[in-house]
């Protein structure tokens, strides 16, 4: 729809049609035919370099917009972004899409379901109760064990093993809240991309991105009962033990190791080749490699051991 038609849904009246809107995206990734938003003053610095055709912004910051960008001035940009996000969501299933393509040598259980538009590669095994959503893609030699769910538009690479009950591509935990405590759903219109030679244990939840992709890179190994939130990036050959959680937009470098019940806060970056002991709580960005951490909040593992020793002596 045109920009004029779109923003009428949040009570903005424009004099002309402006342009045909093709999507909604972040400030850094938006193109001239997409709209974006500024929900926090710390992102004002990114506005000047944005290529977005229009930006949702509040009155106080509207002058920061670059020339040629349409200012969509609202009281709460985050709330209105959530309202508009639903207009960019594709159908859950679409009967107008072509029938699924199943590669040579692939076995699909009669009790599994593959939606229209999906593509499954060669020599795969899709077991009972599994579901592959609309326009999802599964590479060659991949196994989906019983009751694995791959939502629409998600991508799984070659030579992957995904164990029973894992859900790939469900919506992330994202919503806008207003002053009276009401919540407005943010539609997650990105996807999940899983690289080649990845093994994922049972009952994992890997959320789709708001924009772009949640990514599990090649060679990663995920144990059972792991949560990967929207827009996370898990690096190549990462090893993650059971009950670990990654909050939204955290980026983990290659070959990191996470012990059981560890956790990473949102919007952090972790350098490659680090080890985090069981129950480690990562609360800030890690810029160095080759270290071992423990505790909450996390610290050098040797320091944590010393502290535990002193506490033990205190209570004797």
The residues that are catalytic are 230
Tokens of 308: 């535990």
Residues 27, 40: contact at Cβ < 8 Å? no
In angstroms, what is the C-alpha Rg of the chain? Answer: 22
CA distance 260 to 316: 29
From residue 25, alpha-carbon distances to 11, 37, 275 in Å are: 21, 8, 34
Separation of first and last alpha carbons in the chain: 71
Pairwise CA distance, residues 46 & 52, whole Å: 11
């Amino acid at each position: 729809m045109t920009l004029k038609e779109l923003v009428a849904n949040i009570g903005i009246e424009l004099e002309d049609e402006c342009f045909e809107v093709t999507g909604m995206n972040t400030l850094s990734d938006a193109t001239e035919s997409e709209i974006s938003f500024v929900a926090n003053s710390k992102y004002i610095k990114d506005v000047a370099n944005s290529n977005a055709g229009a930006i949702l912004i509040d009155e106080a910051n509207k002058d920061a917009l670059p020339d040629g960008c349409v200012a969509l001035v609202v009281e709460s940009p985050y709330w209105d972004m959530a309202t508009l996000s639903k207009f960019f969501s594709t159908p859950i299933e679409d009967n107008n899409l072509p029938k699924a393509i199943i590669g040579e040598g692939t076995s699909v259980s009669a009790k599994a379901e593959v939606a229209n538009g999906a593509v499954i590669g060669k020599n795969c095994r899709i077991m009972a109760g599994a579901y592959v959503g609309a326009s999802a893609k599964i590479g060659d030699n991949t196994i989906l064990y019983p009751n694995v769910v791959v939502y629409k538009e998600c991508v799984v690479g070659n030579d992957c093993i995904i164990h029973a009950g894992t859900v790939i591509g469900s919506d992330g935990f994202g919503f806008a809240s207003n002053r009276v405590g009401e919540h407005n759903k943010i539609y997650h219109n990105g996807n999940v991309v899983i690289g080649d030679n990845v093994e994922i244990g049972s009952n994992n939840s890997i959320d789709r991105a708001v924009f772009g992709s949640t990514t599990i890179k090649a060679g990663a190994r995920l144990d059972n009962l792991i949560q990967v939130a929207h827009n996370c990036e898990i690096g190549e050959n990462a090893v993650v033990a059971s009950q670990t959680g990654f909050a939204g937009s955290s980026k983990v470098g290659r070959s990191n190791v996470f012990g059981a019940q560890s956790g990473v806060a949102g919007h952090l970056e972790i350098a490659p080749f680090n080890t985090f002991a069981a129950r480690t709580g990562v609360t800030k960005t890690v810029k160095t490699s080759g270290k071992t951490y423990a505790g909450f909040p996390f610290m050098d593992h040797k320091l944590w051991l010393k502290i535990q020793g002193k506490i033990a002596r205190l209570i004797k």
